[in-house]
Amino acid sequence: MEKGGAENSATTQLSEEATGIYLYALRNHVVDERDVAAELGIPLTAVESAIAPLLELKLLRRSSQSGDLVPVRPDIAAAELSAPVEEQIRAKTLELGNLRDQVLSLLPTYEEYRSAEVEIRPFERFSDPEEVRALLRIMTAECSTEVITVQPGGARDPQALIDALPRDVAMLDRGIRMLVMYQHPARGDLATRSYASKIIERGAEVRTTGQIAERLIVFDRKTAFIPDRGRAGQSPGAAVVRDPIIVAYLLRFFDQLWQEATPLDIAHIGYQDAVEDLKLSIVRLMARGLSDEAVARRLGMGLRTCRRHIAAIMHDLGAVSRFQAGCAAQQRGFLGASSESGQAVDSPRRTGS
């Protein structure tokens, strides 16, 4: 077959006339174009047009002895058509294997260099988000004991959760301990609740808290991914930290945050368990003079939702202004005691005000 024949054949369609001509050929063992035109009652030009796809699909061929058009078994025609394509596939597969071998031949060199580099530098920086995602997939597959994820903001991206679920379920099925931390507003998002329910059923632990400064992912308490915001206008990358001192430092912050966070109960995922802590976080941010927009951004919630909470808090405190609310909150001890006293802090709802 000439080059490109297989590609052309892939789009060839058999018309009703072509099928009729093939049946004629089977009955008569040979195709006489004028007899076919007379028998099928179609013009000679239509016969010639209908024969073309039969020749292209190898269902008709010229006899090497008589030169007449004769029919060919469909399985033989299919084999003849597919042979060059299969040969191309074999060649491309071999070429792909050779390319992979060439690239992967440098992996030991890369790992040796990076291993030596890590001893000098405590982290690697990756500016390309795609490279970061690829490395995360590798670390997910290689994780052996535990993965920790801290996600700031409220509702998670639904497509990201759909993509992550099979990988996370596979990790949990391998017996990996999974600790996931969100901010409280994530409890009110349908997609996040659905994802959380599925991984909790598999053994994951999910908690929420008021404020989270940044994203953090830690594998096996040895390798930490922290965001690298880069410069304005650039896509965010990540720093991959393997230095044990730095990783241990990050984990101490996480462990403290985890102990103070509110567990997500699969039986009733919602705000019930976290609403008091959420309102307490709002009171403290208001007392620092932050605007509604800044408070909402810090807590990962929508501005409308934040303002509804602020209105409810001011009503509970009997305040008509932020200044009055701050004074009332200070008088009732909602803003907390000094770190030396270690005094517990109650929320507005807990005092019954």
- Return the beta strands (E) in 41-106 as ranges: 60-62, 69-71
| Mean pLDDT lowest among 120-129, 162-171, 188-197 | 120-129
Q: Are 84 and 7 in contact (CB under 8 A)?
A: no
Give whole-number Cα distances, 293 to 86, 303, 310, in Å.
Answer: 61, 6, 12
More confident residue, 217 or 45: 217
Q: Please tell me the predicted confidence (pLDDT) of residue 148.
A: 96
Mean pLDDT of 290-306: 75
d(Cα 199, Cα 209) in Å, to the nearest integer? 19
Query: Would you state the pLDDT for residue 230?
Result: 63
**pLDDT exceeds 90 at position 199:** yes
Domains of the chain, each with CATH number or no CATH:
5-99 (1.10.10.10), 123-263 (3.30.870.10), 275-351 (1.10.10.10)
Q: What is the pLDDT of residues 230-268, one digit of tens each?
A: 665 566 789 999 999 999 999 999 999 899 888 887 666
Task: Give the torsion through C-alpha atoms of 256, 258, 260, 266, to 10 deg.
Answer: -170
CB neighbours of residue 336 within 10 Å: 16
Q: Is 203 left (phi over 0), alpha (psi -120 to 50) or beta?
A: left
The model's pLDDT over 330-341, given as tens digits with 9 standing for 90+, comes to 666 665 543 333
DSSP E strands, the chain: 60-62, 69-71, 123-126, 146-150, 177-183, 205-209, 216-219, 223-228, 237-241, 262-263
Confirm whether pTM is higher than 0.75.
no
Of the candidates 60, 20, 22, the one whose C-alpha atom is nearest the C-alpha of residue 41 is 20
Q: How confident is the model at residue 20 (pLDDT cuts 50, 70, 90)?
A: confident
The yes-or-no verdict on residue 100 having pLDDT over 80 is yes
pLDDT in tens, 42-76: 888 888 888 888 888 888 888 877 778 888 888 88
pLDDT at 333 (0 to 100) = 63
Mean model confidence pLDDT for the chain: 79
For CA atoms 301, 255, 192, 314, the dihedral sign is: negative
Percent of the chain with pLDDT over 90: 21
Q: What is the pLDDT of residue 272?
A: 52
Of 181 and 115, more confident: 181
